[in-house]
Amino acid sequence: METVDNKTEGQLLEEKLIYTTKNAWEKSKEDEKKEAFQFCEGYKSFLDRAKTEREFAEEAEKIAITNGYKSLDEIIETNQRLVPGMKVYRVNRGKSMILAVIGSNPLELGVNITGAHIDSPRIDLKQNPLYEDTGLVLLKTHYYGGIKKYQWVAIPLALHGVVIKSNGDKVNIKIGEDEGDPVFTISDLLPHLAQDQMQKKMSDAITGEGLNLLFGSIPYDDEKVKRKVKLNVLNLLSQKYGIVEEDFVSAELEIVPAFKAKDVGLDRGLVGAYGQDDRVCAYAALKAILELQNVQKTSICVLTDKEEIGSVGNTGAESVLFENFVADLCDLSSEKYTDIMLRRCLNNSKMLSADVNPGVDPNYEGVQDKRNASFLGKGLVMQKYTGVRGKVGGSDANAEFVGELRKLFNEHGILWQSAELGKVDQGGGGTIALYLANMGVEVIDCGVAILSMHSPFEVTSKIDIFISYKAYKLFYEHA
Ligand code: MN
Ligand code: MN
């Protein structure tokens, strides 16, 4: 029964008919692996500089400018027109960003979009956070997004954000990142006295109101003062940043892990860091668009805020920020802007909603259907639909579009896998995909497999990160 390459007829038939996924490390050449490692050096250092949505937008803007991108709003102000080959961007309220490379095709024929979110689960300060108790000063917090609260206690934390003073001045704050900086922490109960706590449900053991950040301990030296430790901390803040307690009301201060991105594993194949959901896809998509030169279709990268709390607000994907951006592109590249141009453009557009997918975790295999789940190191994850309990509230890509992408990726050697978000009825979730789909855009979720998602230290595979970047670039150039 021996035939080609010593393979039997059955073996050949098996290769032809049966769907298999492959390990991307095994399928990559040595120089590709090296490139993946190099790519992730840039990624890790970017993560360290961009731990909040504001910092991501700021860093991305700097890189965009050095790569020849021009502010779209400056182009509008100076009455310039858009021509093919131009690269433009807009930062929206410092928290979200859109970049575009103008293609040679008319916009009405549609654009190619990759979209990711640059906000991550974290702990925010309340607007009146500061208080003194038992000789210590603490900050009241309100967590942001889906966190497991027990993961955020007893670890070093940093404080990032902005304070708007009563005179309108904006003060940037970042404490806990430099080598000599102090860090902060949320204390946890010692096991010796945790008898009652340990009996509680995991979701109740640590409460939202219990997440108070340890912020100071030395009293101000004045017998007449009532809350000496609080005054001392305020005095330090005043000396360094020129702020008073009332300024917290108009501040956005975010508590994030104070540690840096690291290689994980003896072979260094994985990246461990805070905020990889979804900065891993945001970084890959950003790198892909920055490197584009002459494209036929206009290429757009949209980096949104507020995904972790439902894509709400005027910096989130549910808002008109994307539509407005495309409307501006239409206006600046045509003789006379009409509404139908915008509608046709959106309806003819395609998008990779670049977000992470929970990879199978050997410690928790039970929550996944392994035939329909992603694995670290097996390439780009295509997720046809999201949602909960019967796909409710999800986005479901059209089979035609999935087929088109499958063909594109197969033809160009992009390793991919198909996955859902966990077992049916185990839970679920959504991304920004549905908001763009609502505008008429063809959308599919397409990103990187991740472990420990939403924790302070999420884990991804270097080869997957590199493949996703290549896939996004390929999509811009060929879809
Ligand atoms: Mn996400
Ligand atoms: Mn998330």
Question: Mean pLDDT over residues 448-468, rounded?
Answer: 98
Q: Name the residue with tokens 């640590």.
A: 206
Q: Which of 134, 135, 136 is nearest to 215 (CA)?
A: 136
The answer to whether the CB of 186 falls within 8 A of the CB of 153 is yes
Domain ranges of the chain: 19-120+274-478, 122-257
Question: Mean pLDDT over residues 345-357, rounded?
Answer: 98
Quickly state the pLDDT bin for 4 (edges 50, 70, 90). low
Q: State residue 371's pLDDT score.
A: 95
Question: Mean pLDDT over residues 380-407, rounded?
Answer: 95
Please name which ligand lies nearest the alpha carbon of 121. Answer: 2
Residue 166's identity, in one-letter code, is: S
Q: Which of 183, 187, 164 is nearest to 175 (CA)?
A: 183
Please name which ligand lies nearest the alpha carbon of 433. Answer: 1
Domains 19-120+274-478 and 122-257 share a fold: no
Q: State residue 429's pLDDT score.
A: 87
Q: What are phi and psi of 456, to 5 degrees?
A: -65, -15
Whole-angstrom distance, CA of residue 357 vs CA of residue 420: 8
Instruction: Evaluate if residue 2 carries a pLDDT over 60.
Output: no
Ligand 1 mean position to 122 CA, how many Å? 13
Q: State residue 1's pLDDT score.
A: 55
Ligand 2 mean position to 200 CA, how many Å? 26
Ligand 1 mean position to 303 CA, how many Å? 12
- pLDDT tens-place string over residues 102-133: 999 999 999 999 999 999 999 999 999 999 99
Residue 156's identity, in one-letter code, is: P
The answer to whether the CB of 288 falls within 8 A of the CB of 62 is no
Instruction: Evaluate if residue 411 carries a pLDDT over 60.
Output: yes
Ligand 1 mean position to 340 CA, how many Å? 32
The answer to whether the CB of 267 falls within 8 A of the CB of 434 is no
Superfamily of chain region 19-120+274-478 = Zn peptidases (3.40.630.10)
Please name which ligand lies nearest the alpha carbon of 355. Answer: 1
Q: State residue 428's pLDDT score.
A: 87
Fold entry, domain 122-257? Aminopeptidase i, Domain 2 (2.30.250)
Q: State residue 3's pLDDT score.
A: 62
Q: Which of 474, 310, 463 is nearest to 408 (CA)?
A: 474
Q: State residue 5's pLDDT score.
A: 76
Ligand 1 mean position to 23 CA, how many Å? 24
Question: Mean pLDDT over residues 441-458, rounded?
Answer: 98
Q: Coil, strand or helix: which one is 382? A: strand
Count of beta carbons in the 10 Å neighbourhood of residue 205: 18
Please name which ligand lies nearest the alpha carbon of 304. Answer: 1
Q: Coil, strand or helix: which one is 306? A: coil
Ligand 2 mean position to 387 CA, how many Å? 13
Ligand 1 mean position to 51 CA, how many Å? 15
Around ion ligand 1, residues with a beta carbon closer than 5 Å are: 277-278, 355
Count of beta carbons in the 10 Å neighbourhood of residue 343: 15
pLDDT cut 90: percent of the chain above it = 96
Distances (CA, A) of 378 to 21, 92, 103, 262, 375: 7, 35, 32, 21, 6
Q: State residue 190's pLDDT score.
A: 97
Ligand 1 mean position to 431 CA, how many Å? 6
Please name which ligand lies nearest the alpha carbon of 386. Answer: 1
The verdict on whether omega for the bond into residue 278 sits within 30 degrees of 0, i.e. cis, is: yes
Q: Coil, strand or helix: which one is 417? A: strand
Question: Mean pLDDT over residues 381-395, rounded?
Answer: 93
Please name which ligand lies nearest the alpha carbon of 452. Answer: 2
Ligand 1 mean position to 327 CA, how many Å? 26
- pLDDT tens-place string over residues 58-105: 999 999 999 999 999 999 999 999 999 999 999 999 999 999 999 999
Residue 246 DSSP class: G
- pLDDT tens-place string over residues 226-257: 999 999 999 999 999 999 999 999 999 999 99
Q: State residue 6's pLDDT score.
A: 86
